């Protein structure tokens, strides 16, 4: 939640002031904070300050407080019940056979990820990995549970495995009950890491877009029709 606000602030400044977007010579080091204050004051005067929808923010805060009380049962099942045990038979499947995954709107995604930051990154991240390192697995023993393998955003040949548990055919954010990713920041139920957000986005929204995946962006799937793209 906080990270999106910080990114939004700097993104806005960089968009308007090219000088603040590029590398600066050392001679400006002591003046950078003054430049930033001037730039922000001009933006606030000409445009407006960064505004938040108080109703939306209240919803996110309420959701955060609720999720903090939820026990991470999926984590204990992975650790204790051996969900990740190689003896469990997980089979790679095509996303088109997953027809009971909750359908999501952009608002649902923002509720699940607690803001726009992860959601805005999800389309590009999905596109860059979909044909190479993106593998979805199912296991007949665990209905409503998917395992996904994703490549790291930062390191080649590094993979993260994640688990997503959902209520079959229950659309919306409430259809997703638990999730866990084995990356450094993936063990949480308050918000989620970028890998989980990518899968939420792709399975719940992105694949229903009538546009080919190469043309899909954060902006143009906001109102994507809910029709399964079989390509």
Which residues are near Zn ion by CB under 5 A?
Answer: 181, 183, 186, 193, 195
Alpha-carbon torsion angle 105, 107, 113, 116, nearest 10: 110
Our CB check for Zn ion shows the closer of 175 and 194 to be 194
Our CB check for Zn ion shows the closer of 45 and 154 to be 154
CB of 123 to Zn ion, least distance (A): 17
Cα 193 to the center of its chain, rounded Å: 6
Our CB check for Zn ion shows the closer of 39 and 187 to be 187
- Of residues 134, 204, 147, the one with CA closest to residue 176: 204
Our CB check for Zn ion shows the closer of 136 and 183 to be 183
CB of 162 to Zn ion, least distance (A): 6
CB of 177 to Zn ion, least distance (A): 18
Cα 5 to the center of its chain, rounded Å: 16
CB of 180 to Zn ion, least distance (A): 9
N-terminal to C-terminal alpha carbon distance within the chain: 34
CB of 27 to Zn ion, least distance (A): 41
- Of residues 177, 172, 173, 182, the one with CA closest to residue 113: 173
141 neighbors 88 (Cβ within 8 angstroms): yes
Our CB check for Zn ion shows the closer of 193 and 221 to be 193
- Of residues 77, 114, 81, the one with CA closest to residue 193: 114
- Of residues 84, 70, 76, 230, the one with CA closest to residue 147: 84
């Amino acid at each position: 939640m906080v990270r999106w606000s910080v990114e939004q602030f700097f993104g806005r400044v960089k968009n308007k002031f090219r000088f603040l977007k590029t590398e600066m010579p050392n001679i400006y080091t002591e003046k950078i904070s003054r430049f930033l204050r001037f730039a922000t004051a001009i933006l606030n005067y000409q445009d407006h300050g960064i505004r938040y929808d108080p109703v939306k923010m209240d919803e996110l805060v309420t959701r955060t407080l609720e999720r903090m009380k939820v026990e991470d049962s999926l984590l204990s099942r992975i650790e204790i019940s051996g969900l990740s045990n190689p003896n469990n038979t997980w089979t790679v499947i095509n996303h088109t056979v997953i027809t009971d995954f909750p359908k999501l709107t952009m608002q649902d995604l923002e509720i699940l990820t607690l803001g726009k930051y992860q959601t805005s990154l999800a389309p590009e991240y999905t596109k860059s990995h979909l044909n190479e390192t993106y593998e979805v697995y199912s296991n007949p023993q665990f209905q409503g549970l998917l395992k996904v393998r994703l490549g790291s955003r930062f390191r080649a040949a590094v993979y993260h495995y994640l688990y997503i548990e959902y209520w079959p055919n229950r659309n919306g954010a409430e259809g997703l009950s638990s999730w866990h990713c084995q990356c450094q920041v993936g063990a949480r139920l308050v918000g989620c890491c970028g890998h989980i957000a990518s899968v939420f986005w792709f399975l719940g929204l992105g694949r229903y877009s009538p546009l080919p995946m190469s043309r899909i962006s954060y902006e143009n799937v906001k109102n994507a029709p809910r029709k399964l793209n079989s390509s």
